[in-house]
Structure formats: C-alpha cells, structure tokens
Amino acid sequence: MGETLSKAIQWSSDGDKLEDSPLNNDILTEILIYTEDFEDRYPKEARIRFREPLQWETTLEAADFTSDIYDTRGEAAVSLESDDKGSPLLQLSPPDITVHSFYHLSNLLQLSKDKKMKEIRACLEVNREPIKKIFGPISPTIHEDKLFNILHQLDEKLLSIAVRPITGEGRLSPAAVNTEVDLLKRFCGTGEKRVLKSVSYTSDYVFSNGCRSPPWRQMDGEICSLIIETCDTEPTLFITCSTSGVFFDERIHGEGGVNYYMRKSELYKDIITLLKNMSPHFAAAANEQDSAIQDVPSAKKIVHVETVDVGETGQTLKSNGHEEKNVPEKVRQQLARNKPGGRKKKLEPSLKWKNLGLTSSYDEAEEKSRRSRESKKILENGTKSPVSELKKKANFSGSSLPGSQSSQKIKSPGGAGDFSESSSEDEEDEEQPERRAEIPTDLPPEYWQIQKLVKYLKGANQTATVIVLCALRDFNLVQETCQLAIRDVGGLEVLINLLDTDDIRCKIGSLKILKEISCNSQIRQTIADLGGLQTMVSILDSPDKELKGLAAETIANVAKFRRARRTVRQHGGIKRLVELLDCVPNGVSMSAEQERDVEVARCGALALWSCSKSTRNKESIRRAGGIPLLARLLKSSQKNMLIPVVGTLQECASEKSYRIAIQTEGMIEDLVKNLSCDNQELQMHCASAIFKCAEDKHTRDLVRQYEGLKPLVMLLNEAENKQLLAATTGAIWKCAISLENVAKFQEYKALEILVGLLKDQPEEVLVNVVGALGECSQISDNLATIRKSGGIQPLVSLLTGTNQALLGNVTKAVGACATDPENMAIIDRLDGVRLLWSLLKNPNPEVQASAAWAICPCIENTKDAGEMVRSFVGGLELIVNLLKSQNKDVLASVCAAIAKIAKDVENLAVITDHGVVPMLANLTNTGDDKLRRYLAEAIACCCKWGSNCASFGEAGAVAPLVHYLRSKDPSVHQATARALFELSKDPNNCITMHENGVVKLLLIMIGSTDEILQEAAASCVANIRRLALANDKAKYG
Amino acid sequence: MLKMSAMNRKFIQNLAETLCKQVKHFDKRETECLIRLFSGLLGEQAERRAAHGLDRVRFRHILHNTFGMTDDMMMDNGTSPIWMRTRIIIMPVFRAFDKDNDTYISVREWVEGLSVFLRGTLDEKIKFCFDVYNLHGDGYISREEMLQMLKDSLIRQPTEEDPDEGIKDIVEIALKKMDYDHDGKVSYSDFEKTVKDENLLLEAFGNCLPDAKSILAFEQHAFQEQHGH
C-alpha cells in the first residue's frame, strides 16, 4: 500500500487529486475489494487500532449507518465499540469521518454501497501515507507484525497491477506462441500462392504449463522449438521460442557440442518478425495481407497504438524484455504501415475470434479495447465458407429483452462475440486464461444448438420459453462444454432475466438449468457478476415452494466463493434461508404439503451450508434464529437432510456461540446418534462437529454419556476415507482430554488402532492421531500400551517433520512417553532427545516450548543424562539463549529444562559460563505464575555452582522472589521456598530477604501441609536466624 | 318475484345436492355457491340465450376478468415485453368446458369445468389441457395444431428468410420431446408421460389454466362472500 501509493498511483497535476486513469481505477478497486473483505479474512488483525485515525470528508450520512454496530444520533453516528479510553472507533460528524480500525473501515465500505469508490478515493486523497497513520512513524518489520505483513502483501499485489501493463505485454507466453504457430500453419500449403512450406513443432508433447521444451530448458525461459520450411531460404530453419523472444538454433548445421543450445541469431519479438527478416518471400506475402487491414473500417484502430518509433519495428529487437512492451500495438502498426500494392483480398487478417465469423462492426470496437489488455497475436485467416451464414445468426438482436439488466454482455449481440469477455473483472477466476487458449477451433455441435436455443429464448413468450427451457435441460448440463456454451452465447443473462419475470414456470425452468450449471466455478462467478444472487434471494419470499427450493439450491451452488456469500448476506438472504428451515422434519404421517416443506428446508440447509463458510454469515444465521431450527432438523431421519444440517453445524462450530448452543440445545445426542449411521459423509460431519465442540469439558462428558466414544473408535477402521479419518481422530483427540474418556478408549482398545495410524497417513490425520496419543498418555498404563504396540519409533521419526501443528503434538506425545523409563530407553536409542533438542531451533514458539517441555522428562529418565546433554554440540548454549524469548510458555519450559540440566554439575558449570544467572535474574519480575514456578526451580538448581548464589543476589533476583510467596498458586510457593533456601546460603541475600519481609511469609509457609515446602521454608528461616545470631555475636561478643 | 326466488332457492339446493355427488372437489355448500354464481351470470345475459347456458362471449369475459387470462396478445404493439403477454386459447378452453358441444356451457358443465380449473389433480389437469390442445378433436396434437397454437410465441425476425423458421423449429423441439412413440404426433399417453416427467410442460402450448393467485381470489369471492346469503 505504501510503496504503490507513493510510486505507482497517478496524481493530478495540482497534486491533491487522484487522476481518473484506468491504472488508478484498477489500484483503487483492488484496495476497495481488499479493505472490504479485510474483516472477513483477518478478523483478528481487523480489530487492531490504528496509531492515528484515518480522517476524511465523507459523503455518507448518519442514515447510511444502518448496521447495528453503529449508533446514530441526529446527523452524527458513532460505533458502539470504543477504545479503552472510551472514545468510539468510528465517528461521523458530517462531513468529517474518523476511523480507527480496519474492522470499521470494512464495515463502512460495505455500508457505503454505490459510494464505496468515492469514499476510498476521498480517504486516500487526504491520507497520502496511510501506512504511517496505521503504524505510526516507525513501521514494524514484516516478521513481527501480522497486520503489517498483510498490508505488505496487498502492496505487492498492487505493485503487480501497476506493472502489469509493462510486463504482461513484453513477454511471449506459450499461448501466444501457440496461436502464432496455428496461424502460420494456415499459411502453409502446396499451391503457388503459399507463403510457407511447413511449420512444425519438434516435440508433440505439451507440458501442463503449455510449453513443449524439456523442463531443463524451460528453466531458461524456453517455450518450444519449431522447424519451419520457407519457400526461399535454405536450409530449413530451426527456431526456438522463449519467453524473451524468438531466435535461431545452433542446430541448423547440426554442430553439437558445448554450445549446443546457444542462440545463433539475435532475438526477435515473434516468429513472424523473424520470418520476415529471413524470408523475403514471406515478407512480401505477409505484407499483402497487411494491406487488407486497411479495408476494415475502424476509426479507433489507432487509438490504442502508443507512440513507438516505427522505424524500429520489423527490425530485430534487443533481448531486453521491457523494450518490447508494446509488442501487439507495434505489430498492428507495422502491419498497417507496410502496404505495398497488389492487394488481393485472399486473406483477411483479423482478431483470432473472428474466425468464428461472429463479429459485427459494433463489437469490433469493443474488441479493440479488449485487445489493449491482451498480449495475443492477432493475425487470422477469416474467410471460410460457413462463416457468412453464421454471421447472420450472430447478428440476431436480443435488444427487445425485457427487464434487461443492461450489463455489458447483454449489449453485445448474442453470438460468440461474447467469447472473450468477463475475465478482467473476475478476481477469482484462475481457469479463464487456459480455457481461452483452447477456444478457436473445434466447437462441439452442442455449442451451435445451445446458441440457437438461447436465441429463441430471447424472443419467446412464456409458452415457447418453457418449451425451449425444457429442451435446454435435455443437454448434458454436467458437461463443461455445455455449461460454458450457455455462458458464452449469453444464455446466463437471459436465464437470470427470466428470474425477474412474473411467470412462475419460466422461473422454475430457468432455475432448474442454473442449478445444474452452477456447479461450474466460472458459471458461478458470472451468475454473481450478473446480479443473479440478488434475484434468487428475493425469490425466497415466493409462496411457491418448488420455486423457493430451487432458488435455495442454486444459491447453495453459487455461494461457494467469498464474494457470493457476502452478496447473499448483504441482500438479506441469510434470514430468508433460515426461515426456509421452519418445518416439522419427522411427522408421523406427513401430508404432501408437509413433505414439500421438508424439501424446501433441505434446500435451505444446503444454501446455509455454503454460506456458513464465512464468519459473518455464521453470526447472521445465529441472529436470524437458525440454531433452534437446525437443532430441530437434526432430529430428522433423512440423510439428505442431515448432511447439510450437520455440515452447517460443524462449519459454524468454529464459533464459540455455536459450540455452546450445540451443547445446550441437546444436539450432541443427535450428533452421536448419527456417528453410527451408514453414510460416511454424514459420519464425517458429525465427527468433525464433535471435534470442534469437545474442547469443552461438559461436551466431552456428554459424548461419553450418550455412548459416542465407541462409535468413534469403530470409525477408526474406515482408514480409506481420509477426511472421515481426520474428523474421527480429531474427535477422539479432543474427547481424550477428559480422563474418564481415556479410560473408555483404553477399554475399546483405541490406542492400538491409533498407533497403527501413525504411518502412511496425511498430515491432518497424523496431527490428530498424535494429539490423541498425547492426551491418552495422561494415564500411565497407556504409556506401556503405546510402547508395546510399537508406537515409540514412528512417533520419534515424526519429530523430523515440518508441519508446525504436527510437531507441537509430537513433541508433547514424545514428552509424555518419556516419563516411562522403558519408553525412554527406546527414545534414547532412536536419538529422540537430539531430535527434540534440534526442535528448539524451530521458529515457532509453540514448538520450541513443547520441545523444551518434552526434554525435561527425557533428562530425568535417562541414565547418564549429563553425558548425553553434553554430547549435543552447542546444545546448552542454544537452550540458555532461549531465555531471551518473548514467549511466556517458552520461558517457563526452558526454565524447567534448565532446572533438570543443572542437576548435572558439569553442565551447570557450562550454562553458568553461558550467562544463565543474569538471564534468569532478568526474568524475575514476571507476574506469570507458571513462569514464576519454573523460574524459581531453575534458580534453586543453579545456585549450587560456584558463586552463583551470590551472583543472583547481585543481579537483583532475591527481592522479587520473596514476593512470589504472596502468589495464590501453591506450586509457586514450594519452588520459591526452595530457591530462597538455596539463596539464603549467601549472607547478603539473607539481608535482602529480611528487608523484604520474608520471615513473616516463610512462617506462614511452615504451617503448610506440603512437607517439602515446610522444610525449605524452615531451613531458610534457620539460615536467616543463624546469620542474625552470628551478627549479634560479632557485635556483642 | 319473491316467490320465484324462493322456488329458485329450493331448486338450487336440490341441484347442488345432486351435483356435489357427481363432481369431485366441491362440497354441497360450495356447489351451491357455484350454481348461484352461474345463475347470476346467466341473469346478465340476454334473455333468450339464458335458457341454454353461458355463451362464448360471456365465458370469455369471465376468463378475462375473473381469472386474468387474456388472449389479446398482439394488441399492444410491443410496449410490454413479449413474454409478459399471455396467450390463452380461449375457444379451445370453451370447448373443453362445453362437453356436449352445444356451444353453451350448462350448469353441470360449469361446475365440472371449474372443479378441474380450481382444484384439479395433476391427472385431471393433464386431461383438461390435452382436450384444449387437441384442437381438431381427433385425439392427437399434430404438428399443424402446435404450429397454430405457437404461431405468435416468438418474435419474428424480419431478416430471416423464412420468418416462421423459428416457430417451426420450436414445434420440432416440442414434438421431439413429447412424441415418445415416434408417430409424428402427440397422443394422450405421450402427453401424459411428458408432463409426468416434467410438470412445466403441462401448459406447453399456451396458458389454459388459471394461476394460483386468481384461483385464490376466485374462491374467496365465490365461496366466502356468498356465504352470507
């Protein structure tokens, strides 16, 4: 954002306005989309408060703030949310608006509707350096701040937009080469008028990226090699096309050797230019065709041609890719200018889609503008006999379409002229470019039939419309060719327009088609682009149940991507969909009407399932009262109803409110019941819902009470279905947090099966399996079980993985296993401790901490632990240095490990040399009880070497330790008393302790029931007392 | 006058008694209401015709005004979108009501027709629609009949060589879809099979049944308001 805003964006001459240029618009649109989605994508970061607020003059009014997170008072509006000082995070006092966080920025834009662009423009015009406002004068680095990282990514995206026109056009792509070769092939022939003899690839194999060169040469940017026979050059030309241009191969003379692939010629920008330079015959012939271009009436032709020195074109170009940035225009211009006479209108160059013969003068102009965005080759042979006939059909005008939404597409004649549209706005459509490369030839017969039907659809009354719709449905709509054909001939516009009519049969017929074809992601996006979702949402109010159901089902298909889900929400779709759920699912003898209600509810659940993938939709579903309705539907006995219902629930269970509701509305019982059904998808969703909910203790108990643990263990045998297995193991993991459940799992022999799953499973399964084993090892019997069923070895070998979540769980499990001496022997033999130790170097603090925790029992249970630890080169220094971590859990775990390490005097000496004493002392001011406990233990253990005891006192560790005795955590008391006892061996420390009132506190501790605490406290008091006596003795003799 | 109306009432009650046993979907009270409505409509008709029953003009008027079904599709010169203009084949519908072919709808025909119109099951409706579309009464819907019924259902393309090409094409599409036995025409069983398979094709060749809204309005008007009598 920062970089691009300062460098790429174009400011008007007086410098305070953003120019209205296409580039700016692209950048602003990107920022807009990004900001609008920000809250959905990064809910946590969106809440971060800006250092300084963004402030600008808005056109919004208080009335625009319809969301319930805002409070409007007269003309002003404020957010209900405010910072810790009580000032609101968004404040509107017209015309000024102040915003403090991305959360409100997102909301604001969503509320702005059609004024969005204006707002973002106004905001950026006055906030020239938003990054500084957001982060203050000193920007954090990428690594330490997630928000900055996110904005940095946006910045890079924007930069790539800014440079797109430069790079996009300058380099050859496989598609471009392909098109050019196809074109050249048309020039080949045997007659006298042929331009070339032959063109062929050296390799027929096409890699998935479109290249034909072998991979090692693709590394250098090569795309493919060609053999071209011209009419006048000898011998045959061997040509290589690479991303930076086209050149001759050394192979011309077959002189292999070291420089085999070194290019022989200079770089040409494309094959045609190269041929023109090499073959006078070709140049002459090509120029003949160029002249034809003059015949095409087009005033706009030159508009897009930038001022490029024509003298250079047609000559060789230098290898620098950037110099070629205007290649398409250059070609055009060059072709336009080279016009020797003798025009024979044998070949008519045109855009490549012209060979479909479906362009009219109208969309030619449109294609011109399109062309400027595309770096595609443009010559094409357009005179084929069937073309003229087709042209006529393409000119059929659909302008009498009622209720036309007048999108760009509707305007253009409903022919194949629509082919290349719609990619530029599609933000999520990755498949588009690939597909486009395939279009030109071989259209299937269905294409023409569909085109004809869509043409009829545009001019038919209800009666004929229904017939045509039914005929359309008879095509195989699952097939992508048919789906795309409907879109490409403008069928989607017509179908969506039909949804706005009054005729129920037309709507039903149209929805039946839309429902099928919306399985295709490109169709989904086009439907959303054309505003289809809004119409479908309003159809949900219809009294006709079949219609409602179909609309909901289609929404379910379309709302598979974020923007669509947001559209559904913003147009009130969630509430309506939730209303559809209202039915009695399990009536004893249901009337036809009730059955229809159930079917509608099923469709509604399907749609909600799709929508529930967005966080805000989950919230909307809850607010619309969806949870009790879902709970009621969960009682259904039909699988096709249960799957979307449980699917929605498990999706929503990521939210706390749902987890509570699932528990309190009694849904656990039904979820458990369905674990034993015979449908794996349903079982998976149930297990997944339990997985997410079982973080809560009561839920875990409920699962056990409803006897859900056994079916879960049974499901472990379905090892083929990995998704199911992942959900099941996840549920087992979370359920195993309760000891009672672990006992059950023991009874069902779950551990043996789990250990068997440690091998050859995908990571998402492994994470859960290992997590479950870790939880089960709370019961020591299970440690032996894991060993006996051969679990130690696979666990230890998982320590070498890279998946952070998995590592976290593996270290935990290995640590738990290490508490058993027999297990430890195996771990030691497998060199597990060394592996754990190297995980201390992992960048993820959670992994560091759990590795350090796991190291503790390892040291404790290994014979010759001291020797082992010393054998890790640099190991001690590594662990001491982790005391510099910012993470509390890492610190606590490292302190615990240091306490164990320090039991070996030699090692204690080494860590003392590495400065462990001042580092521990530095940490003493912490308020975290867990850290306090292990810190005190570490201090107690480290006192036992040399002058460490005194050094702690000098480093100021004593006074804070005394205060630990006031902590509420008894485990802190014991460790602290032991540390104080060790420290009290130094007289100065005793004085400090006494000054800090330690005696009174210790006296309380002596009254404790914990004997170790008693003894440590008493011994410490004794030491202090002895010092006092000695002092008295010295004074008074 | 008063005496006559009393007699009339007695007569209507008796008639209703008989009819409601023979015609499905209506109970006695409803039948009575429909008969009353019928006699009311007759009363508005010219005296000499009243004896026979409702004539075409009257019936057409009812379809227009009460059920919102119109056939004046080509009368508005393209001001409203084409598919908004409903085409209903009035005369065939009349014939489907007029079972004895005497060009008048008797009270029995009236009640029977309305029973399908208002509350018909899918099977009854299929039968009714087929009767409507079976213009020549020969038990088949032929290509020519389809062409006649669909002739105005598509915008004519003046540029096309044959302006009716589109319509002919649509007729072929419909025939292909419906003609299960491949005899080049649609028999009753063809039609039934098609509609059972795809309900949308019930009114495949033109609107001949009232929509849900009109039905509701009619029933309210006919059955509830007259209840007070």
Residue A474 has pLDDT above 70, yes or no: yes
Which one is predicted more confidently, B43 or A750? A750
A279 shares its domain with A342: yes
Domains of chain B by range and CATH?
Answer: 2-228 (1.10.238.10)
Q: Do B159 and A395 touch (CB under 8 A)?
A: yes
Which one is predicted more confidently, B25 or A442? B25
Q: Are the beta carbons of A926 and A969 closer than 8 angstroms?
A: no
Specify the length of chain B in residues. Answer: 229
Residue with tokens 């974020």: A562
Per-residue pLDDT at A773: 93
Residue of A360, A405, A451, A467 to mutate, interface with B, max B Cβ within 10 Å: A467
The interface residues of chain A toward chain B in range 603-662, judged by CB-CB distance below 8 A, are none
Please tell me which residue of chain B has the smallest CA distance to A404: B81
Residue A730 has pLDDT above 90, yes or no: yes
Q: What is the CA radius of gyration of chain A?
A: 37
Q: Region A297-314: what's the mean pLDDT? A: 39
Per-residue pLDDT at A630: 93
Which of A361, A385, A408 marks a domain boundary?
A361
- Structural domains in chain A (count): 4
Could you give the CA distance from residue A538 to residue A932 in angstroms, rounded to a whole number? 60
Q: Are the beta carbons of A372 and A304 closer than 8 angstroms?
A: yes
Q: In chain A, helix, strand, coil percent, each to 5?
A: 60, 5, 35
* A824 residue type, one letter: M
Q: Is the dihedral of CA B48, B53, B55, B58 positive or negative?
A: positive
Q: Do B173 and A471 touch (CB under 8 A)?
A: yes
Q: Is 0.80 surpassed by the pTM of this model?
A: no
Per-residue pLDDT at B206: 83
CA distances A340 to A11, A280, A288, A992, Å, are: 44, 14, 7, 103
Alpha-carbon gap: A422 to the closest alpha carbon of chain B (Å): 27
Please list every residue in chain A whose beta carbon sits closer than 8 Å to the beta carbon of residue B88: none
Task: List, in sequence order, every beta strand (DSSP E) within A39-183.
Answer: 49-57, 70-73, 76-79, 90-93, 96-101
Question: What confidence category does residue A312 fall into, taking pLDDT thresholds of 50, 70 and 90?
Answer: very low
Burial of A15 from C-beta contacts in 10 A (0-12 / 13-18 / 19+) = exposed
Least confident residue range of A107-116, A421-430, B111-120: A421-430
Please list every residue in chain A whose beta carbon sits closer than 8 Å to the beta carbon of residue B198: 470, 473
Least confident residue range of A270-279, A616-625, A636-645, B106-115: A270-279
Which one is predicted more confidently, A1037 or B22? B22
SS3 A1018: helix
Instruction: Give the pair of three-digit tokens for residue A980.
Output: 């104080």
Contacts of B185-189 with CB under 8 Å at 24 or more apart are B185/B140, B185/B141, B185/B142, B185/B143, B186/B140, B186/B141, B186/B142, B186/B146, B187/B139, B187/B140, B188/B127, B188/B130, B188/B139
The interface residues of chain A toward chain B in range 207-266, judged by CB-CB distance below 8 A, are none
Most confident range, picked from A546-550, A1000-1004, B36-40: A546-550
A181 shares its domain with A272: yes
Least confident residue range of A366-370, A543-547, A856-860: A366-370
Domain containing A30 equals 2-167
Q: Establish if A373 belongs to a structural domain.
A: no
Alpha-carbon gap: B169 to the closest alpha carbon of chain A (Å): 9
Per-residue pLDDT at A657: 92
Q: Are the beta carbons of A1013 and A977 closer than 8 angstroms?
A: yes
Instruction: Give the pair of three-digit tokens for residue A487.
Output: 């879109």
Residue of B149, B154, B201 with shortest CB distance to A459: B154
Least confident residue range of A265-274, A353-362, A452-461, A1020-1029: A353-362
A283 shares its domain with A311: yes
Per-residue pLDDT at B15: 85
Alpha-carbon gap: B189 to the closest alpha carbon of chain A (Å): 18
Per-residue pLDDT at A268: 78
Chains A and B form CB pairs within 8 A to the count of 94
Q: What percent of chain A has pLDDT over 70?
A: 79
A209 shares its domain with A249: yes
Instruction: Give the pair of three-digit tokens for residue B118.
Output: 């208002």
Which one is predicted more confidently, A609 or A332? A609
For A671-684, write each residue's pLDDT tens digit: 999 999 999 999 99
Q: Do B73 and A465 touch (CB under 8 A)?
A: no
A161 shares its domain with A194: no
Q: Establish if A509 belongs to a structural domain.
A: yes
A466 touches chain B (CB under 8 A): yes
For A514-569, write each residue's pLDDT tens digit: 999 999 999 999 999 999 999 999 999 999 999 999 999 999 999 999 999 999 99
* B215 residue type, one letter: I
Per-residue pLDDT at A361: 43
Residue of A393, A463, A475 to mutate, interface with B, max B Cβ within 10 Å: A463
Question: What confidence category does residue B159 fall into, taking pLDDT thresholds of 50, 70 and 90?
Answer: low
Please tell me which residue of chain A has the smallest CA distance to B165: A456
Helix (H) / strand (E) element for A198: namely strand A196-201
Residue A96, strand partner residues: A57, A93
Please list every residue in chain A whose beta carbon sits closer than 8 Å to the beta carbon of residue B170: 456, 460, 464, 467-468
Residue B118 has pLDDT above 60, yes or no: yes
Per-residue pLDDT at B160: 62
Q: Do B87 and A463 touch (CB under 8 A)?
A: yes
Question: What confidence category does residue A89 fall into, taking pLDDT thresholds of 50, 70 and 90?
Answer: confident
Q: Establish if A757 belongs to a structural domain.
A: no
**ipTM greater than cut 0.85:** yes
Which one is predicted more confidently, A398 or A451? A451
A178 shares its domain with A160: no
Q: Establish if A303 belongs to a structural domain.
A: yes
Alpha-carbon gap: B149 to the closest alpha carbon of chain A (Å): 10
Per-residue pLDDT at B218: 87
Could you give the CA distance from residue B111 to residue B147 in angstroms, rounded to a whole number? 32
A319 shares its domain with A424: no
Please tell me which residue of chain B has the smallest CA distance to A547: B200
**Ramachandran angles phi, psi of A1006, nearest 5°:** -60, -30
Which of A167, A188, A205 marks a domain boundary?
A167
Q: What percent of chain B has pLDDT over 70?
A: 79
Q: Do A463 and B205 touch (CB under 8 A)?
A: yes
Q: Are the beta carbons of B223 and B37 closer than 8 angstroms?
A: no
Helix (H) / strand (E) element for A227: namely strand A222-230
Q: A98: which residues sit within 8 A by CB, 6+ positions away?
A: A53, A54, A55, A90, A91, A92
Residue A743 has pLDDT above 50, yes or no: yes
Q: Do A462 and B78 touch (CB under 8 A)?
A: no
Please list every residue in chain B whose beta carbon sits closer than 8 Å to the beta carbon of residue A508: 200
Q: Are the beta carbons of A31 and A54 closer than 8 angstroms?
A: no
Least confident residue range of A82-91, A404-413, A940-949: A404-413
Alpha-carbon gap: A166 to the closest alpha carbon of chain B (Å): 46
Number of Cβ within a 10 Å radius of residue A101? 25
Residue A18, strand partner residues: A11
* A337 residue type, one letter: R
Q: Region A501-520: what's the mean pLDDT? A: 92
Could you give the CA distance from residue A195 to residue A233 in angstroms, rounded to a whole number? 12
Alpha-carbon gap: B93 to the closest alpha carbon of chain A (Å): 16
Residue of B78, B86, B198 with shortest CB distance to A462: B86
Per-residue pLDDT at A6: 60
**CA-based diameter of chain A, in Å?**
131
Q: Do A461 and B83 touch (CB under 8 A)?
A: yes
Q: Region A140-167: what's the mean pLDDT? A: 70
Please tell me which residue of chain A has the smallest CA distance to B78: A400
Mean residue pLDDT across chain A? 79
Per-residue pLDDT at A494: 93
Q: Region A485-503: what's the mean pLDDT? A: 91
Q: Establish if A507 belongs to a structural domain.
A: yes
Most confident range, picked from A229-233, A321-325, B103-107: B103-107
Most confident range, picked from A183-197, A317-331, A942-956: A942-956
A209 shares its domain with A355: yes
**Ramachandran angles phi, psi of A90, nearest 5°:** -140, 135
Q: Establish if A91 belongs to a structural domain.
A: yes
Could you give the CA distance from residue B201 to residue A976 in angstroms, rounded to a whole number? 86
A330 shares its domain with A190: yes
Alpha-carbon gap: A481 to the closest alpha carbon of chain B (Å): 21
The interface residues of chain A toward chain B in range 343-402, judged by CB-CB distance below 8 A, are 392, 395-396, 400-402
Please tell me which residue of chain B has the smallest CA distance to A473: B198
Residue of A395, A461, A502 with shortest CB distance to B82: A461
Q: Do A402 and B83 touch (CB under 8 A)?
A: yes
**Residue A22 CA, distance from chain mean position:** 28
Which of A139, A167, A195 marks a domain boundary?
A167
Residue of A392, A400, A466 with shortest CB distance to B155: A400
A353 shares its domain with A455: no
A197 shares its domain with A154: no
Mean residue pLDDT across chain B? 78
Residue A442 has pLDDT above 80, yes or no: no
Per-residue pLDDT at B161: 66
Residue of B69, B76, B83 to mutate, interface with A, max A Cβ within 10 Å: B83
Q: Are the beta carbons of A113 and A120 closer than 8 angstroms?
A: no
Q: Do B177 and A470 touch (CB under 8 A)?
A: yes
Q: Do A467 and B204 touch (CB under 8 A)?
A: yes
Least confident residue range of A14-18, A179-183, A337-341, A879-883: A337-341
Q: A44: which residues sit within 8 A by CB, 6+ positions away?
A: A146
Q: Establish if A933 belongs to a structural domain.
A: yes
Q: Do A463 and B169 touch (CB under 8 A)?
A: no
Instruction: Give the pair of three-digit tokens for residue B196.
Output: 């059972």
Residue of A401, A453, A470 with shortest CB distance to B201: A470
Residue with tokens 């014991």: A974
A779 touches chain B (CB under 8 A): no
Termini Cα distance of chain A: 79
Residue with tokens 């060589």: B161
Q: Do B170 and A467 touch (CB under 8 A)?
A: yes
* A838 residue type, one letter: S
Instruction: Give the pair of three-digit tokens for residue A542.
Output: 């219809």
Specify the length of chain A in residues. Answer: 1037
Please list every residue in chain A whose beta carbon sits closer than 8 Å to the beta carbon of residue B152: 461
CA distances A368 to A119, A161, A298, A327, A978, Å, are: 32, 21, 10, 15, 84
Q: Which of A959, A895, A903, A897 is nearest to A933 (CA)?
A: A895
Per-residue pLDDT at A700: 93
Per-residue pLDDT at B70: 63
Per-residue pLDDT at A576: 94
Helix (H) / strand (E) element for A200: namely strand A196-201
Q: Establish if A562 belongs to a structural domain.
A: no
The interface residues of chain A toward chain B in range 403-442, judged by CB-CB distance below 8 A, are 403
Instruction: Give the pair of three-digit tokens for residue A326.
Output: 């205007």
Please tell me which residue of chain A has the smallest CA distance to B176: A471
Q: A411: which residues sit within 8 A by CB, 6+ positions away?
A: none
Could you give the CA distance from residue A520 to residue A509 in angstroms, rounded to a whole number? 19
Most confident range, picked from A146-155, B22-31, B111-120: B111-120
Q: Do B177 and A456 touch (CB under 8 A)?
A: no
A460 touches chain B (CB under 8 A): yes
A145 shares its domain with A220: no
Strands of the sheet containing A76-79, edge to edge, are: A49-57, A96-101, A90-93, A76-79, A70-73
